[in-house]
Structure 1
Amino acid sequence: MEIIGFIAATLTTAAFLPQVYKTWKTKDVSALSLPMLLMFFVGVFIWLIYGYYKNSPSMIVANAITLCSAFLLIYFKIKYAKTP
């Protein structure tokens, strides 16, 4: 069953990476919602904790990588936000 988790983890984590790359390259954060990113970050952190307690390597790896990606988007949103 863990192989199914790793397949799902790879797909869902990889799907998030192009957004991080695009935001990094363009520095355009206008379409990113900070409240959504913060809620997503907390949710992924909780999934990471859950994966740890379930002893699920696929959940731990996927959520650790996604947590880093979400953190980068939050950082970019704050750093590149246009102030009036």
Structure 2
Amino acid sequence: MNIDIFGYFAAILTTAAFLPQLIKTLKTKKADDVSLSTLIMFIIGVLSWIIYGYKISSTPILIANLITLILNLLILISKLYFSKASSQY
């Protein structure tokens, strides 16, 4: 049995876990309930996973964390954008 199967399975689950938050943020145009400090710490952690995955040549780690990084950057951008937009009113 190829151990990478577990890596890909974990990658799908942990990456997909951020889709509901991103969809909710984009639909409601609000991200007040998303902690900025937690989001920033998570993004730094994901960047560390990307470096680690690259160094050990692990495709599951790289793919999962690159997609997770993109999703979380979109959540961060949305949070910053929507908080500025709502403070103008």
TM-score, with normalisation over the residues of structure 2?
0.89
Q: What is the rounded CA distance, in whole Å, between the counterparts of 1:80 and 1:33 in structure 2?
A: 14
Note if 1:29 corresponds to 2:46.
no
- Structure 2: gaps (5+ residues): none
Q: What is the rounded CA distance, in whole Å, between the counterparts of 1:74 and 1:48 in structure 2?
A: 18
SS for the counterpart of 2:87 is coil
Q: What is the rounded CA distance, in whole Å, between the counterparts of 1:42 and 1:11 in structure 2?
A: 20
> Partner of 1:43 in structure 2?
45
Identity, % of aligned pairs?
45
Q: How many residues align?
A: 84
Q: What is the rounded CA distance, in whole Å, between the counterparts of 1:18 and 1:55 in structure 2?
A: 30
Q: What is the rounded CA distance, in whole Å, between the counterparts of 1:67 and 1:40 in structure 2?
A: 9
Residue 27 of structure 1: how far off its partner (Å): 0.8
SS for the counterpart of 1:32 is coil
TM-score, with normalisation over the residues of structure 1?
0.94
After superposition, what is the alpha-carbon deviation per residue over 1:19-47, rounded to whole angstroms, capped at 9, x for unaligned?
11110111111101111111111110110
Q: CA RMSD in A?
A: 1.1
> Partner of 2:60 in structure 1?
58
SS for the counterpart of 1:55 is coil
> Partner of 1:78 in structure 2?
80
